[in-house]
Structure 1
Amino acid sequence: MPVPEPDLSQLRRILNDRRHSTGLTFEQLAERSGISRQTLLNISSGKYNGDLRTWLRLSKAFEVSQDDLLAPVWSDKER
């Protein structure tokens, strides 16, 4: 069975949705995650997808598992 392709364009939406639902500013999320504000802005605007370390830090900052945080990357039809 082939491995489905992730929809990395969802990363931008994931960050924006989680940040809004938690009420965190970029500055607060940067402090909580240890990720620079500029990097967060770049992910939020779709200029950068981040790397594994970035998303591990974000999952801890949002207090969710990596699976839950990144689930939207996989479309419903591929699950």
Structure 2
Amino acid sequence: MSAFRNHAPADCLIPVVDVGSREFRIGKDNMFRKPPYSVDGIPTLIRWKGVERLDGDQLLKSSLLELFFEETDPKKSNFVAQ
């Protein structure tokens, strides 16, 4: 959690979504496994309406979290709001 505190912008919203039991998660009918989410692993951090994402052990690496938030922060990147 310290990586989130250290790297996430102050105005960043990070909702936590319960995706159900393991049996439900791995089922083909699980809405989270389909676009636009396409979640294959737990945990997953996805930029809403973006392509940036971190899955599983990637979330344990502070350098990847820092890059994720840097790339998704409109004040620090070339991101153009649509």
Q: Normalising by structure 1, what TM-score?
A: 0.30
Looking at secondary structure, tell me which structure has more strand per residue: 2
Q: Normalising by structure 2, what TM-score?
A: 0.29
